[in-house]
Amino acid sequence: MSQRINKSKRQASGLVRLAAIMLIATCFLLMGSFQTETGLTAGQASCDRQGMAALDRPVSFKATESWPLYFIPNQGQLDSRVNYYLAGKEKNIYFTPGGLTISLFQFDPAGKELPGRLQAKRQTVRLDFLGTNGSSQPAGLSTDSAPVVSFFKGKPEDWKTGLRACSEVKYPAVWSGVDLT
């Protein structure tokens, strides 16, 4: 009996830590200004400007926000460690088996720093699921009926069309008895 109570306490404390991490991540997402610069071009920070127009939906975790969240499956348009991602105007979230990565960036439209080249300021936060073996694969739920087009690479043969976005991503059994959705 005592072992079950201790296990419940450990699981509850893990969930509290996870909630705190998600709260911190949400604060980062809502930040309006950046202090550091990376010198990345816009294409390196996210995707090219043409592709961004196709995915130009702000990501928000506010319950009153009317924009839908589209979790897009990675079918070769990003690093192979990414299973799903959210793409927004100035933020992306990447879902991997070991956790998620939040990338915030801001474009310098005037090209003040390097005239003629669109620059971006970028900050990235990686959230790892501690105490797991990293084998919980994120799965897309509630496939949306709207297909997504992705122009991540310059050549038309590398473009992805007809990707089925999901409205939820679930991490099954991240910890014993704990699924994350």
Residue 178 lies in a domain: no
- Rounded to whole angstroms, the Cα distance separating 47 from 44 reads 7
Residue 93 lies in a domain: yes
Give the range of the structural domain holding residue 79, as residue numbers without chain letter: 2-172
Q: Is the pLDDT of residue 178 over 70?
A: yes
Domain tally, the chain: 1
Residue 112 lies in a domain: yes
**Which string of b and e fits 76-96 if b means at least 16 CB within 10 Å?**
ebbeeebbbbbbbebbbbbbb
Residue pLDDT, tens place only, 73-130: 888 888 899 999 998 878 899 999 989 999 998 877 665 666 666 677 889 999 998 8
| DSSP calls for 23-52 | HHHHHHHH---------EEHHHHSS-HHHH
DSSP alpha helix (H) spans, the chain: 2-30, 42-45, 49-54
Residue 181 lies in a domain: no
Residue 177 lies in a domain: no
Residue 114 lies in a domain: yes
Q: Is the pLDDT of residue 176 over 50?
A: yes
Taking all residues of the chain, what is their mean pLDDT, rounded to a whole number? 69
Task: With beta carbons less than 8 A apart as the criterion, state whether 59 and 159 touch.
Answer: no
- Going by C-alpha positions, the residue among 170, 152, 169 that lies closest to residue 161 is 152
Residue carrying structure tokens 């699921």: 129
Q: How far is CA 2 from CA 5, 16, 36, 144, in A?
A: 5, 21, 50, 45
Residue 12 lies in a domain: yes
Region 145-172: mean pLDDT is 76
- Rounded to whole angstroms, the Cα distance separating 141 from 116 reads 42
Q: Distance between terminal CA atoms of the chain? A: 30
Residue pLDDT, tens place only, 116-148: 666 778 899 999 988 887 778 898 888 766 677
Give the best-scoring range by mean pLDDT among 27-36, 40-49, 67-76, 142-151. 67-76
What is the pLDDT, as a whole number, of residue 93?
94
Residue 65 lies in a domain: yes
